Structure 1
Amino acid sequence: MTDGATARPRQDHGEGSPGAARPTSRDVARAAGVSQATVSLVLGEKWRGRVSERTAETVREAARALGYRPNLAARNLRLGRTRTALLVIPALTNEFFARVYTGAARVADRHGFGVVVYPSPDGTGPAKDPFPSARAALDGVIASSMATSALTALHGSGLPLVMLDSDPAEPGAAAHVNLDITDGIRQVAGHLLGLGHRDFLHLASEVDSWTFRLRHRALGEALGAAPGTSLRTVRAAFDVTAAREAAEAALTGPGPRPTAVVCDGDILAAGACKAARRLGLRVPGDLSVSGFDDLALATAVEPELTTVRLPAEEVGERGMRALLDVLDHRAPARGDLPVELVLRGSTGPAPAGTTG
């Protein structure tokens, strides 16, 4: 089939009521200068390989300009779809996951899908099945590895599953969307080693998930390759107070005091900075602190945090695209999303007399 070359069908297939004021697919076809069949292909997401990208965008623009809305109920009945995806995350109160949702919802909206958010009640633990029948209510699931226990009620549903920030070796997922966490940790370690730091504290998340295990392993490997380094790890809940208490205990414990704290998240880094102030330590004069995520918090603290920027919205976008690909029997995009070290005021040279 070529752009606009197919004869117009004689019926609207329920997409517009006779005499109704709202625009029909015929109106969109006329405005875009294409056939009704081409409009159906584009708005039904069946155009790839049959209609050019330029024509598809022309059709979408015409539909938006006219305020055209296809009869999704009729289309879904024909396709056997609900056009609804479930996003399973620890909590929407976490800025990172709120941004993941924003990205997923943006892509979903372009394709006539809705996104239902399913946060775990305590941020990490199991949640009850939100639907009497997941298979009847959903087309697929996008889930963070930090909330996998919340998927228990959905196991066995047969729904396509796209995992975010999860072990690609684990079976059961139709696709994985990962960040290059290892490279992010290497960038942090290289930066701090270059500043002369040799005694490190890893303020790690107490959440037992693949992404945090990966960060711990990557940090150990990066520092282990440098001579004369030491690394101590303490764990804390993702909470500023818990992080402050854990950091205070570690910084006042036996042995050489660390000169650099590598944190699994900006929230933990904020707690480490508070601990330093309470102990009379200057950041970064006496203690360098790095975060991970690049949340708004990173520039709200003083000094502002050196941190690894994670493209949260892009994670959500790619997760939704991967689910759409799986539903349409296409191979999802592969490869980890790149991350970026953002240098700010919380890191500096190791204190005099401590460099290796």
Structure 2
Amino acid sequence: MARVAGVSQATVSLVLGGKWHGRVSERTAQAVRDAAGGLGYRPNLAARSLRLGATRTALLVVPALTHEYFARVYAGAARVADEHGFGVVLYPSPAGVGPARDPFGSARAAIDGVIASSMAADALTGIGDGGLPLVMLDSDPGVPGGPPTVNLAVADGMRRITRHLVALGHRRIAHIASDVDAWTFRVRTDAVAAELAAAGLPAPGRFVSALHVTAGRDAAVRALSAPGPRPTALLCDDDILAAGACKGARALGLRVPDDVSVSGFDDLSLATALDPELTTVRLPAESIGEHGMTALLALLAGRPAPPVELPLTLVPRASTAPAP
């Protein structure tokens, strides 16, 4: 590999070991990576683990394997991990609250660190006896002495979508809210209420739902059938709930968006499969996975991992329109 890249064996070792920054140029590092790819090189992780006393494996814990968002988070984390000779094992802990079962019996012997997405911090105490380096994604950043966090600007995203509906003239907005008691959903509820209050509008009716289409449909029917003036917009905590809300509106003979606007949150593939296509907020899922793995690598190298917050993007589409 050194001959193909035109460099020394020491340089190859630095690049493949992820220790080249500040010691060789990006051009040289890329030449080594190109040579490795051309030769079909794959590191012997078992041998390296024995030599270094580390597994070079990270565990990514998520609440669900079936949700597209977490698949994208994994893709981002795995890409960064691969660049540094690490692997990522994906592990579901559906409840999102602790303690999660240690998938290895003794995680300290099998993995070097943990990345947890949309989980409660105390849910991880059972993995490696809580003694492994830990990075939290989409988690409360205000926990004193807590692990490093990589978060989404969830509150700003909810403010943006609320302002979008208010700008369209909606004054009666119902919030179809997730029933999951997690930081990310509590932030959404607070942001919607605060934004409507700032606009001089009443607090939204809040209709709690499990995170699946049928439950979202039922919550939307409750919201649209409740006593008093009917809401002109349904603001949903995620795209899956929004898909259910569209079905609920149609079940009552209402048209989206002519009679009622519907918004989501996530920008899943589902958002453009719906008709009309869904107004939503785009989450940089792969980017949060990349930043999470980068933070874990910093911890493992003894470097600081400062908190990160990633911006979100409002994506207006045809499911929202001026209030009737």
User: Does TM, scored on the shorter chain, surpass 0.5?
Assistant: yes
SS at match of 1:211: helix
Shift of 1:306: 0.2
Shift of 1:149: 6.2
Shift of 1:172: 5.6
- The change in CA–CA distance for 1:330 and 1:56 in structure 2 (over 3 A counts) is farther
Q: Please, which of 134, 138, 158 is the counterpart of residue 107 of structure 2?
A: 134
Counterpart of 1:306, as a letter, is: T
After superposition, residues 340-351 of structure 1 pair within 5 angstroms as 340-351=313-324
> Counterpart in 2 of 1:143?
116
Is contact 1:174-1:326 (8 Å) kept?
Answer: no
> Counterpart in 1 of 2:30?
57
What residue ranges of structure 1 are gaps of 5+ in the alignment? 1-27, 352-356
- For residues 168-198 of structure 1, give each alpha carbon's deviation from its aligned partner in whole angstroms, at most 9, with x where no partner exists: 1124644211111111111101111110111
Is contact 1:88-1:150 (8 Å) kept?
Answer: no
SS at match of 1:156: helix
Bigger Cα displacement from structure 2, 325-334 vs 231-240 = 325-334
Structure 1 distance, partners of 2:94, 2:206, is: 28
SS at match of 2:129: coil
> Counterpart in 2 of 1:280?
253
Shift of 1:145: 2.8
Shift of 1:127: 4.1
1:83 is aligned to 2:64: no
- The change in CA–CA distance for 1:125 and 1:132 in structure 2 (over 3 A counts) is closer
TM-score (norm 1): 0.86
After superposition, residues 241-260 of structure 1 pair within 5 angstroms as 241-260=214-233
Is contact 1:134-1:157 (8 Å) kept?
Answer: no
> Counterpart in 2 of 1:108?
81
TM-score (norm 2): 0.94
Counterpart of 1:269, as a letter, is: A
Counterpart of 2:3, as a letter, is: R
> Counterpart in 2 of 1:19?
none
SS at match of 1:107: helix
> Counterpart in 1 of 2:177?
204
Shift of 1:97: 0.7
SS at match of 2:204: strand
Q: Please, which of 272, 275, 290 is the counterpart of residue 302 of structure 1?
A: 275
SS at match of 2:226: coil
Is contact 2:207-2:222 (8 Å) kept?
Answer: no
1:321 is aligned to 2:278: no
Structure 2 distance, partners of 1:340, 1:225, is: 21
**Percent identical residues:** 67
Structure 1 distance, partners of 2:123, 2:43, is: 34
- The change in CA–CA distance for 1:102 and 1:249 in structure 2 (over 3 A counts) is same
After superposition, residues 36-47 of structure 1 pair within 5 angstroms as 36-47=9-20
Is contact 2:76-2:290 (8 Å) kept?
Answer: yes
Counterpart of 1:336, as a letter, is: E
**Structure number, greater radius of gyration:** 1
1:92 is aligned to 2:65: yes
SS at match of 2:244: helix
Q: Please, which of 154, 163, 177 is the counterpart of residue 190 of structure 1?
A: 163
Is contact 1:162-1:173 (8 Å) kept?
Answer: no
Counterpart of 1:49, as a letter, is: G
Q: Please, which of 244, 252, 258 is the counterpart of residue 271 of structure 1?
A: 244
SS at match of 1:178: strand
Is contact 2:136-2:150 (8 Å) kept?
Answer: yes
Structure 1 distance, partners of 2:118, 2:201, is: 35
Is contact 2:96-2:123 (8 Å) kept?
Answer: no
